Amino acid sequence: MIIFNRSVHKIHRDRASKNLHQHDFLMNHIHEDMVERIQDHSKKHETVLDLGCYNGAFLKNRSGLEIKQLVQTDLSYKMLQKAKGERVQVNEEFLP
């Protein structure tokens, strides 16, 4: 079952990648909060999958977490180019 029109969603993410750095304060806040919540349970993780990584905000804000492997994914290749580290372009609705 397809929930969103992935072609349109990809176009929007490609367009947003151009100036995301000017408007990413909310994503940074969300990732900081998420890291705090994860730290409440455990600080060491083998593998973490970041679905919809935007510009790699989770990687930038993961201080205090010990992660052996972080795989960042996004539908938009242009968005992935903003992130650093291990990156894979995927459609989140069709994961194996």
Distances (CA, A) of 23 to 29, 37, 55, 74: 12, 24, 11, 18
State both tokens at 74.
């996004």
Q: What is the pLDDT of residues 34-48, one digit of tens each?
A: 888 888 888 888 999
Q: How far is CA 20 from the centre of its chain?
A: 13
How high is the pLDDT of residue 1?
A: 65
User: pLDDT tens across 56-72, in order?
Assistant: 888 887 888 889 999 99
DSSP 3-state of 18? coil
Q: Is the whole model's pTM more than 0.85, yes or no?
A: no
Q: Compute CA distances 26 → 20, 31, 54, 77, whole Å.
A: 11, 9, 12, 21
Mean pLDDT (the chain) is: 87
pLDDT grade, residue 87 (50/70/90)? very high
**What pLDDT is recorded for position 54?**
85
Residue 76 confidence (pLDDT) above 90: yes
Contact between 76 and 52 under an 8 Å Cβ cutoff? The reply is: no
